[in-house]
Amino acid sequence: MDISGASAIVTGGASGIGAAVVRQLAAKGAKVVVADLNAEKGEALAKDVGGVFVSVDVTKTDQNEKAVAAAIELGPLRYLVNSAGIGWAQRTIGRDGEYSSAFDLDSFRKVIDINLIGSFDMLRLAATKMSLNEADEDGQKGAIVNMASVAAFDGQIGQAAYSASKGGIVGLTLPVARDLSAAGIRVNTVAPGLIDTPIYGEGPESEAFKAKLGESVLFPKRLGSGDELASMVMELLGNPYMNAQTVRVDGGIRMPPK
């Protein structure tokens, strides 16, 4: 498929890995919908790359539909990258034997709702419209990349909700790829390791903390960059023989229990 002139949706596209993907897609000539809740950053990025910003809470189907509609107005929708997500850390039980100190169930549901169900909702909506595209010489009509995490495999203490949500992303990769093969749509997943994103903050203390985290990476001993993750996303979007795969991009790290 020719990226130039096609449209793409990137959820969580206003910052971090999502923003890096937006920039690399735009550099290849795609018209990108930045789907995010952060209007200030999202609008600025969309303006910078010649795309559009759509305010999207991925747990709201009507807002996901608006993002798809906006993409179709820009050009044939051929690409979706699901990068929106949240983290949460809490031990399964507390130390006092009380139900009230166990993992907050509403928080568990929220993480699953955003990271897993929200990603699948956007996927099913975008794929529905991708299926109407004209196929290329390989029969391709679209390509989708979902964002998991090494926590899907190496979940740490307190990561029950986050790991479950990302494990769900990994688990749906093959069956959804099988579902969509008849429509000429490929589905792959990226599982990032420790990535330098705004979640770690800024300043000397933040840099020292990130350097300490980087020591646990096999090689190179540092956090990965958003651009390094985005380059793998671009490969999965662009390589017509990559399908139904989950690719770890993690410097070889295997996360310890804590």
Q: Which residues contact 255 (CB under 8 A, 6 or more apart)?
A: 150, 151, 154, 155, 156, 216
Residue 51 CA to its chain's centroid (Å): 19
> With the CA atoms of 80, 192, 174 and 77 taken in that order, what torsion angle do they form, in degrees rounded to the nearest 10?
10
Are 71 and 64 in contact by the 8 Å Cβ rule? The answer is: no
Torsion of Cα atoms, 43 then 132 then 171 then 213, to 10°: -30
Catalytic residue among 79, 162, 200, 241: 162
In the chain, what is the greatest distance between 2 CA atoms, to the nearest angstrom?
Answer: 63
Which pair of structure tokens corresponds to residue 202?
């800024």
Contact between 82 and 122 under an 8 Å Cβ cutoff? The reply is yes
162 flagged as catalytic = yes
Query: Does residue 215 contact residue 223 with C-beta atoms inside 8 Å?
Result: no
Active site residues: 162
